[in-house]
Structure 1
Amino acid sequence: MSTTTATLDQVISTLTGYRYAYTDEHALHRGIDAALTVAGIQFVPEVNLSSRDRIDYVAGTVGIEVKVKGSTAALRRQLTRYATHPTIQQLLVVTTLRRHRELPTSISGIPVTVLVVGGGLS
């Protein structure tokens, strides 16, 4: 199987087409790992963007943050910090919480897409 540098559309298509079985965030991570690997998408898990910030995945220039709990305000603060990192050109939030759809579509000029597992895109 060959691997490819991911675009946002490829990552979304891959993650949308996968059926997740999870009970917590770690299990959801395992599903995401499996989906990206089967699709041949190159990714790096747990990337340190700074001494304070570690994003769940980087696939190409797409930063992926996974959430199963937490407030939208706290997530927005987190994404605002991530958006300042020079290698992140797009942010994708994979979440189980529909309220995260309230996030802006752009933070600090970086496009933000929210994928609600089982609930589609916003």
Structure 2
Amino acid sequence: MMQNIKAIIERHRLPLTDEKVTQAAIANALELADISFEREVRLSDADIVDFMVGSIAIEVKIKGAKAAIYRQLERYAEHDCVTSILLVTSRSMHLPALIKGKPTLVASLSRGWM
């Protein structure tokens, strides 16, 4: 399922300048693909993930330091309700296959523009 979501996101030309606009466009793409999701899901007082598709956490990042993004994903991986993590980003960023034992993937926002 995570690979399918990644493919859906990467085949769309999504806006790259404003994270909230990008999130709205991703929501539209998921709706068009008939994928159920929740937005802005509170995992804890400190952690709110942009999307949850079942137990897949989807975080959208347009800007930000790579180390800070990774630390945020590590926090998400600590939550039992998260079984895998998809980072959606315009940054050139690689993730290990697992973060705290949970599978990860990166969806490139730039792909849709190629």
Aligned to 1:109: 101
Gaps of 5+ in 2: none
Output the TM-score relative to the length of structure 1.
0.85
Output the TM-score relative to the length of structure 2.
0.91
Q: 1:105: Cα distance to partner? A: 2.1
Identity across the alignment (%) = 38
Aligned to 1:50: 44
The higher relative CO (CA closer than 8 Å, separation ≥ 6) is in: 2
3-state DSSP class of the match of 2:28?
helix
Gaps of 5+ in 1: 1-6
Q: Does the CA contact (< 8 Å) of 2:61 and 2:90 recur in 1?
A: yes
The structure 2 residue matched to 1:74, chosen from 62, 68, 86, is 68
1:29 aligns with 2:23: yes
1:83 aligns with 2:109: no
The structure 2 residue matched to 1:15, chosen from 9, 18, 25, is 9
Q: 1:22: Cα distance to partner? A: 4.2
